[in-house]
Structures are given as C-alpha cells and as structure tokens.
Structure 1
Amino acid sequence: METTSEEITALVGREVYSNNGVFVGEVEDVRLDLDNQQVTGLALHELNPELFSGYVGDSRGVLIPYRWVRSVGDVVLINDIIERLRPREEEGADEVVV
C-alpha cells in the first residue's frame, strides 16, 4: 500500500471502529517501519472502556497491527477487535500490545 507523509499524518485523530461498528479508540500515533517505508501499527488512545476493561490497566493506550486495518476513510475500520482479545496467559503474535 503506497502512502504519502500527508496521508500518514492524516490518520492521527481519526476514530477507529471494528467492522461490526463498535467504537475502539482514536489514533494517537502511527508506528512506521522506516526500512520498508510502511505503516506497521496504530497507537490508539481514548479507548472504549467496555472493550478494554481488564486488559490495559494503567496504560494510556494500545498498539494494534496495521494488518488489522480494513479501510481508511473518515474513520478507520479494523477487523473485529473483540475476537482478537484474550487473557494474558494465552498471549500470541496477533494480540493487542498495551
């Protein structure tokens, strides 16, 4: 996916929703792979407390993999986050980083 620096900075402040229409949070920052010149993750804050209760503790946000992004427009749509969350003892490569 080709993106320009203007498109990357435009992600900051956008609301993020699951593909089921559930508010997830707001983009605070983006994680970049400078060697490959691509976005690899979105740092979210202003999280939906119903989704993240018991998962984030004192953290201010979460980092989600950019591969979860389905589309970007006025809002960012991601794969259903609820299906991805699991207890810490079951941590895996696709889990949300807090």
Structure 2
Amino acid sequence: MDDTPQEITSLVGREVYSNNGVFVGEIEDIRLDLDAEVVNGLALGELNPDLFADYDTGRRGVIVPYRWVRAVGDVVLINDIVERLKSDDEAEHALA
C-alpha cells in the first residue's frame, strides 16, 4: 500500500460506491473542519437516481459524513447507504 500523502483535491471527481457495490454519486467537493484540520464530509453530486428518488436533494446533492468512508482508492467505498436510507425511511414512517 502506498502511504504517500495525497492532495485532498485528488478526491474530487471520484465515484462513490457502497460497500455492496451500489453507485452512490460523484465527489464534487470536500467538507473540512479547519480548526481540527480534518475532512468531515464528502459533497456528492451526479447522484444515483434510484437511491435518492424519494428524497428532495435539491440541486446541490448530498453530504456524506466522512466517518462512513471505508476505503479510498480509484473509487471511494462507504458504508452501505442503501441500508441507512431504508432504516431512516422506515423510522420516519413509524413516526407518522
């Protein structure tokens, strides 16, 4: 594994997939906590319409918390967002 530090901007344009191989979106920007000097989110655009059809993401896309990131390489793998969306949706319907 190459441990050479990379520029944060190298993440922009990479595709994001769930750990189950479902395309989620493409990284358009990075959300930083400048005080702590850490990445705390990935702003995604070009979203998978099948995943976000029931959500109003507006024109901006979504921000995925960086803690969901499992691996960074040619693509970025995150924890299974499909399961997270389903559980959030089920909880919302249970409250209705």
The TM-score with structure 1 as length reference comes to: 0.80
* Corresponding residue number in structure 2 for 1:40: 40
Cα distance in 1, alignment partners of residues 90 and 7 from structure 2: 34
- Residues 18-71 of structure 1 show CA distances to partners (whole Å, capped at 9, x for unaligned) of 000000000000000001100000000000000000113533300010000000
* Unaligned segments of structure 2, at least 5 residues: none
Q: Aligned pair count? A: 87
Residues 57 and 66 (structure 1), Cα distance of their counterparts in 2 relative to 1, 3 Å cut: closer
Tell me the SS of whatever aligns to 1:24: strand
- Root mean square deviation, CA, Å: 2.0
Larger radius of gyration: 2
Question: 1:56, 1:62 within 8 Å by CA — same for their partners in 2?
Answer: no
